[in-house]
């Protein structure tokens, strides 16, 4: 048994007088069970252990001891005073073994079942496998990789409400809601003003068109008597319908009717 947690078989090479690795199990260090301890995560890409967010090493430089919470859960507080625990979403994390799986359960119900059980430390949900709950310490977690044929997926880790990771998510949601509350009325007011001024401009153009009809500009000096009579008749009709004065501009003189 090697310090890496792997079983290794070595052969002595008489030619170069050194040990040669012949066989090892598990073949990869990522396959060593509990390599980073409870609530520890093995980074496959860097072959390094680290704690889950919201946790810290129990003993520095001794990952076999695992990690402990930075803040206790609210459900473990006997006084029951404080904000409710939350869940932190983590992606590309290999799901730990020994989960309890429930089919035909909605995502909301899955979260609620874990929240109501203080020993539930994490949950995961997908349409294929349904709801998976993990009780007690989480062990053998791996990031960006899959050992023993287990696929990486999304998992929600239970954390105390006071953890900064959860506060960041809440802050972003509140900022988004505040922005929507401010933006929607501003957009509605802008649209309202636009429609108001648009209708106002249309009304002015309509009245201006009517006003132009009240004036008769005749610049033809060779108008016949019949044409003059027709113009006079139109002026009389406009005079009956409109209270504004009518003006007739002729080429030689100006008459007020």
Confidence of residue 86 (pLDDT cuts 50, 70, 90): very high
**DSSP state letters, 32-79:** STTTT-TTEEEETTTTEEEEPTTEEESSTT-GGG-EEESS--GGG-TT
Spatial contact of 72 and 102, defined as CB atoms under 8 Å apart: no
pLDDT of residue 233: 54
Q: What average pLDDT does range 123-148 have in this prediction?
A: 83
pLDDT of residue 70: 92
For residue range 30-79, list pLDDT tens digits in order: 778 888 999 999 988 888 899 999 999 999 888 889 999 998 898 887 66
Confidence of residue 128 (pLDDT cuts 50, 70, 90): confident
CA atoms within 13 A on the CB side of 126: 9
Q: What is the mean pLDDT of the chain?
A: 74
Q: What average pLDDT does range 213-217 have in this prediction?
A: 47
Which H or E element spans position 161? none
């Amino acid at each position: 048994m090697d310090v890496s947690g792997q079983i290794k078989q070595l052969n002595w090479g008489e030619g170069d007088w050194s040990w040669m690795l012949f066989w090892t199990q598990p073949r990869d260090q990522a396959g060593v069970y509990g390599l980073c301890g409870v609530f520890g995560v093995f980074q496959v890409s860097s072959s390094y252990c680290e704690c889950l967010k919201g946790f810290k090493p129990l003993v520095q430089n001794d990952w076999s001891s695992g990690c402990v919470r930075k803040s206790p859960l609210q459900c473990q507080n006997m006084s029951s005073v404080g904000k409710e625990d939350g869940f932190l979403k983590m992606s590309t994390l290999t799901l730990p073994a020994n989960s309890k799986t429930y089919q035909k359960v909605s995502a909301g119900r899955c979260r609620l079942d874990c929240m109501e059980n203080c020993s539930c430390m994490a949950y995961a949900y997908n349409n294929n496998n349904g709801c998976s709950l993990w009780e007690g310490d989480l062990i053998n977690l791996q990031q960006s990789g899959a050992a023993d044929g287990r696929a990486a997926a999304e998992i929600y880790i239970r954390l105390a409400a006071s953890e900064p990771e959860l506060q960041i998510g809440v802050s972003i949601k509140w900022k988004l809601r505040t922005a929507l509350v401010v933006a929607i009325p501003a957009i509605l007011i802008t649209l309202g003003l636009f429609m108001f001024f648009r209708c106002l401009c249309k009304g002015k153009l309509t009245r201006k068109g009517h006003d132009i009809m009240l004036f008769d500009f005749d610049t033809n000096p060779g108008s016949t008597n019949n044409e003059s009579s027709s113009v006079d008749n139109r002026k009389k009709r406009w005079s009956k319908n409109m209270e504004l004065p009518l003006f007739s501009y002729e080429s030689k003189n100006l008459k007020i009717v």
